Every structure is written in structure tokens, then in C-alpha cells.
């Protein structure tokens, strides 16, 4: 059998600490530290603790060239098999097809290695971030100030006030008013149904195709309302529909060309999944519609192959789309939000997505605001909440 290393691998030396009663009783601190090696790879669910000898083995293998496994097996014994089970070493034998196929699928996406590791290692699964923040007392400005001290200044100056050139204020306009009214909604009406026409308008204006250009054989380019790196528009919209007139609750994919919803298998408890998706942020999960922004990475990386800036461009695309969604919802008198505090792994499983192929980066949502503010919102100019209420 022949083997090679997985496509992307980062080996991290990391200091770990553990409590030792004997150390404490002997007059020490009770904390014993040690250096350990961890392997990071996009296909791993979490960093894998490895032995020092594994570092030598993994470092000696090429990610491209296949070599005979027999000498490695003689030298490293069962550890070679353990690393093959983890997918860090790829084998050509039939028994290792799942690991090899996963590695080949990843290679086909043309990721820049460090970006792939960042994307994989920053994903969450089953985390209730809202509860953890509250338990740590970090859910208020006072709590953050107490824990971290004063933040960096809200304004950044590079010259003295007398040296600045004053600029004229922009003229009043509908756009100016719309921008002032754009804010993050944390108080949705949990009983109100969104009109289907409002859902259609937000989806069409944010994600819909506004035009099509035939660039070359089997290469069409879409025009949308937001900019996109290379005009490739890789980001797909996956919906958690909870309360929309004329649309059954469930999971959907929005088809940008046909301006239509495609029904997908849905979880039994849709509300529980919505809350899980946004990591316990119940003030967001109450929205009538949540939209998962999930780029098809291969669409972008087809052009920007193994490119150091490609992942950054995908993140920018998601930011552009969220602002367009905000403004569209605001014009319709609806509240909107975006959050990157999401449980990516749970979302991937529910929608049938594959981490390195089409993973979620953020979740948006929109719908009617509640009549009273139960969760604090940032609205300093009282454009949304003329009367503060609790």
C-alpha cells in the first residue's frame, strides 16, 4: 500500500496544564504543565493530540507524492494506522477509501491552507453562547468594562482638531433616513406572521439574480444587488421559516435564478433548532425567518485557487449581503439582524452541507418587531424605539 499526507496540516506545540494534588501537598501550586503536540486539519472535528514521534512521521510525508507504507509501518508500528484512521495520513487501499475520498473532496475546493484551518477550527457545535456569556456576567456593558477595563477609544484621531478639514453634511434624502433607521433587532414579535410578499421582497432584493451574462462556454455570471469578488456570488441562502403566511414552517433553500424556495427535510422541533443555530440567542431565534449565509467555496476558489485572499473575499461577500438585507427589511418596516455566533456544525448537519464545500459563515433574520423592548437594543437616536420600554 502507498500513502501520503493529508492536503493541509498544522502541527502545534502547546502547553497544557492539569491539577495534581501531590504537587499541591508538596508545597507547589498544584498545577502541573507539560508540552504536547496537536494536529490541526480541516477534516478533523477538533485538534488531535499526537505523540512527538508522530511529528517526525507527518513531517516526513509529502501531501502530493505517494510512498510505500511498509518502511513507515516497520518504524512507527500502530501509530501509522492511528494517523490513517484520523485522516492525517492518506492510504490508497480500499479500507481507507472514506479518508482518501474526504481528502480528495477537500483538494477539489482549492482552499488556501491557513484559511481552511481557520474556517474549520472556528466552527461551533451545540454551544449555548448566550448562556455562557450571561453566566460570566459579560452580557452587559458594565460587565465587559469590569472584566476587560476600558475599551479602545470609539473615535480614532491622527491629527489635532485644529488641523482637521471640516466637510459639509450630506443633504437629507430617503436613503439618509433609511440608513439612520437601520439597526439590529433583538425584539421580534413571536406571534406575528410575516406576509409572503415581504419574504419575497427581501429575498429578491438581497439574493435574487438581477441579470445574467454569458461569459464563456459553461461560464455564466449573475448580477446581484451586492458586490462580490470576481462577480462570482458564491453565497447561498438557506432559510429557517417559522412564521410566514402561505409557507409551511421548515427548512428551505432559495433558488436565486427562479426566485423560488426549495423545501428540504426539516427537524421535528423547528424552534429548538433555530435557537441552536444561533447558539442560544433567543432574541434572534424568535424571528419569523432566519437566513443561513453559506458560501459554496468552490465557486470562489475556482478562480482564486489556493489564494491567500480568497477566504477574505468570501467573508466580505457575506457582509455585503447582510447590509443589503438590513436595508431592505428596514424599508419594509421590519427588524433585522446578523450574527456570526452560530453553531456551524449543527447547521451543516441540518441542511446537508459539508464543512469545506459549502459551510455557513453567519445567520441573518428579519420580521416584525415586538411592541415592547424586552431585550436591550442599540438605538441612540430613538429612530426605532421613540419610547424606551422594559
pLDDT digits (tens, 9 = 90+) for 287-325: 999 999 999 999 999 999 999 999 999 999 999 999 999
The residues pairing with 294 across neighbouring beta strands, listed in sequence order, are 236
pLDDT given for residue 386 in this prediction: 67
DSSP 352: T
Check whether 242 has a pLDDT greater than 80. Answer: yes
By the 8 A CB rule, do 257 and 220 touch?
Answer: no
Check whether 388 has a pLDDT greater than 70. Answer: no
Backbone angles phi and psi of 234, in degrees to 5: -80, -15
* pLDDT tens-place string over residues 15-27: 887 787 777 777 7
Check whether 178 has a pLDDT greater than 70. Answer: yes
Cα–Cα distance, 15 to 23 (Å, whole number): 18
pLDDT given for residue 120 in this prediction: 94
Cα–Cα distance, 216 to 220 (Å, whole number): 7
pLDDT given for residue 389 in this prediction: 47
Q: Which residues contact 66 (CB under 8 A, 6 or more apart)?
A: 2, 3, 4, 92
Quick one: pLDDT band at residue 390, thresholds 50, 70, 90?
A: very low
Mean pLDDT of 197-212: 96
- Per mean pLDDT, which range of 7-21, 52-66, 158-172, 184-198 is the poorest? 7-21
pLDDT given for residue 137 in this prediction: 92
Q: Mapping DSSP to helix (H, G, I), strand (E, B) and coil, where does residue 366 land? A: strand
Closest by CA to 139, choosing from 285, 281, 337, 344, is: 281
Cα–Cα distance, 231 to 222 (Å, whole number): 7
The per-type count for the chain, helices as H runs and strands as E runs, is 16, 14
Check whether 93 has a pLDDT greater than 90. Answer: no
Averaged pLDDT score across all residues of the chain: 93
Quick one: pLDDT band at residue 215, thresholds 50, 70, 90?
A: confident
User: What's the predicted TM-score (pTM) here?
Assistant: 0.91
Numbered ranges of CATH 3.40.109.10 in the chain = 174-367
Check whether 360 has a pLDDT greater than 90. Answer: yes
Check whether 270 has a pLDDT greater than 50. Answer: yes
By the 8 A CB rule, do 281 and 341 touch?
Answer: yes
What is the CATH T-level fold of the domain 174-367, as seen in this structure? NADH Oxidase (3.40.109)
By the 8 A CB rule, do 191 and 210 touch?
Answer: no
Over pLDDT 70: what percentage of the chain?
99
Amino acid at each position: 500500500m502507498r500513502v501520503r499526507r493529508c492536503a493541509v496540516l498544522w502541527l502545534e506545540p502547546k502547553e497544557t496544564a492539569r491539577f495534581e494534588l501531590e504537587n499541591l501537598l508538596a508545597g507547589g501550586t498544584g498545577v502541573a504543565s507539560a508540552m504536547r503536540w496537536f494536529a490541526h486539519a480541516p477534516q478533523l472535528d477538533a485538534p488531535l493530540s499526537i505523540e512527538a514521534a508522530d511529528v517526525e512521521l507527518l513531517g516526513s510525508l509529502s501531501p502530493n507524492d505517494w510512498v510505500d507504507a511498509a518502511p513507515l509501518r516497520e518504524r512507527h508500528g500502530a501509530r501509522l494506522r492511528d494517523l490513517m484512521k484520523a485522516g492525517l495520513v492518506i492510504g490508497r487501499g480500499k479500507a481507507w477509501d472514506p479518508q482518501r475520498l474526504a481528502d480528495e473532496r477537500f483538494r477539489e475546493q482549492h482552499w488556501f491552507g491557513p484559511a481552511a484551518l481557520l474556517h474549520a477550527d472556528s466552527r461551533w457545535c451545540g454551544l449555548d453562547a448566550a448562556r455562557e456569556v450571561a453566566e460570566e456576567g459579560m452580557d452587559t456593558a458594565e460587565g465587559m468594562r469590569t472584566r476587560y477595563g476600558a475599551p479602545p477609544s470609539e473615535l480614532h484621531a491622527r491629527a489635532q482638531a485644529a488641523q482637521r478639514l471640516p466637510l459639509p453634511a450630506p443633504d437629507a434624502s430617503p436613503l439618509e433616513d433609511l440608513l439612520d433607521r437601520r439597526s439590529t433587532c433583538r425584539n421580534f414579535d413571536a406571534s406575528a406572521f410575516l406576509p409572503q410578499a415581504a419574504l419575497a421582497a427581501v429575498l429578491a432584493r438581497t439574493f435574487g439574480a438581477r441579470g445574467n451574462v454569458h461569459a464563456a462556454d459553461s461560464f455564466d455570471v449573475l448580477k446581484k444587488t451586492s458586490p462580490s469578488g470576481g462577480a462570482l456570488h458564491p453565497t447561498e441562502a438557506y432559510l429557517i421559516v417559522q412564521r410566514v403566511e402561505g409557507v409551511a414552517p421548515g427548512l428551505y433553500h432559495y433558488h436565486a435564478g427562479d426566485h423560488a424556495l426549495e423545501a428540504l427535510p426539516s427537524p421535528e422541533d423547528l424552534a429548538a433548532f433555530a435557537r441552536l443555530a444561533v447558539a442560544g440567542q433567543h432574541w434572534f431565534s424568535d424571528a419569523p425567518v432566519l437566513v443561513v449565509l453559506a458560501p459554496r467555496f468552490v465557486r470562489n476558489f475556482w478562480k482564486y485557487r489556493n489564494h491567500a485572499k480568497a477566504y477574505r473575499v468570501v467573508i466580505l461577500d457575506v457582509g455585503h449581503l447582510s447590509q443589503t438585507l438590513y436595508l431592505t427589511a428596514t424599508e419594509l418596516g421590519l427588524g433585522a439582524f446578523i450574527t456570526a455566533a452560530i453553531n456551524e456544525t449543527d447547521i451543516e448537519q441540518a441542511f446537508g452541507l459539508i464543512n469545506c464545500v459549502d459551510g455557513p459563515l453567519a445567520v441573518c433574520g428579519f420580521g416584525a418587531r415586538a411592541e415592547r423592548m424586552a431585550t436591550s437594543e442599540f438605538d441612540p437616536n430613538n429612530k426605532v424605539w421613540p419610547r424606551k420600554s422594559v
